[in-house]
Amino acid sequence: MKQTRTSVRFPLKLPLTVRTNDAREHFAETADISAGGVLFHTNASLDVGTMIRFRIVLPAIVLGTDTDVLVNCSGRVVRTLDEKGKKAVAAMIDEYCFERMYSPAGQPLTAAQL
Cα Rg, the chain, nearest whole Å: 14
Domain count for the chain: 1
Q: What is the CATH number of the domain that holds 67?
A: 2.40.10.220
- Whether residue 9 is contained in a domain is answered as no
Sign of CA dihedral 28, 19, 102, 34: positive
The whole-model pTM stands at 0.78
- Split at pLDDT 50, 70, 90, the class of 110 is low
- Whether residue 45 is contained in a domain is answered as yes
- Whether residue 5 is contained in a domain is answered as no
Sign of CA dihedral 44, 47, 48, 53: negative
- Whether residue 7 is contained in a domain is answered as no
Query: Which helix or strand (DSSP H or E) is residue 15 part of?
Result: strand 15-20
The C-alpha atoms of residue 41 and residue 29 are separated, in whole angstroms, by 5
pLDDT digits (tens, 9 = 90+) for 51-74: 999 998 888 888 888 888 889 999
Q: Tell me the residue range of the domain where 89 lies.
A: 15-102
Quote the strand ranges of 21-110, DSSP E. Answer: 25-33, 37-42, 51-58, 67-83, 86-104
Query: Which helix or strand (DSSP H or E) is residue 109 part of?
Result: none
